[in-house]
Chain A
């Protein structure tokens, strides 16, 4: 079956540091890949997505590139801010036809950014 593995946290960085959160996946076909972010006390929000190999998703300074050869979708940001403190989830969606698109999530990586 499908699965997503992401680096375990927590990750603690100083403001303006470079961020990488690793994510690899296992899927039988050609999934879409996602990063969701969960701020304290809130639900998950879509951060970015990529739907095919070599696509780059980007939003709010975050980027991730769909690497089919390494089955990876690592999240990066060049300079983190305190407001980026949250839990980040990597996910994939695979299916065809009505009703078959479901998200498979990684376990989440908690990021804390300190001033």
Chain B
């Protein structure tokens, strides 16, 4: 089985540009999570979805960040406009259903904003 797929793996952009990160969860999984990892703050939950519906977006840093899940097999995290402090590794994770607690992580997207 394919695991969680994220693209791109690396992204370098300039401040002010729009960035879109993509995630394909494991087939059949009903919950999807977006995390951000930095040296200073560790691993932070940004937002998660159950059955394509956003449940908790309290971790989204500010209005520049938005996330969508138009269907069960695809999600995007968009940053517009991007800033240097957004530089981090962004992980997507999925789990089989909301009633389970084990999450399966993708390989991450390393974002660098110059």
Contact = CB atoms under 8 A, between A and B. Distances in A.
Q: Which of B56, B95, B102 has the most CB of A within 10 A?
A: B102
Contacts of B104: 46
A102 B56 contact: yes
Contact of A105 (B31, B43, B99): B43
Nearest to B48: A102
Nearest to B103: A103
Interface in B56-114: 56, 91, 93, 95, 97-108
Interface string B19-55: 0000000000001000000000011010010100001
A43 B9 CA distance: 11
A104 to B, nearest CB: 8
Interface of A: 32, 34, 36, 41-46, 49, 89, 93, 95, 97-103, 105-108
Given A99-B98, A108-B42, 9 more contacts: A34-B102, A42-B107, A43-B91, A44-B91, A49-B101, A97-B99, A98-B50, A99-B55, A103-B103
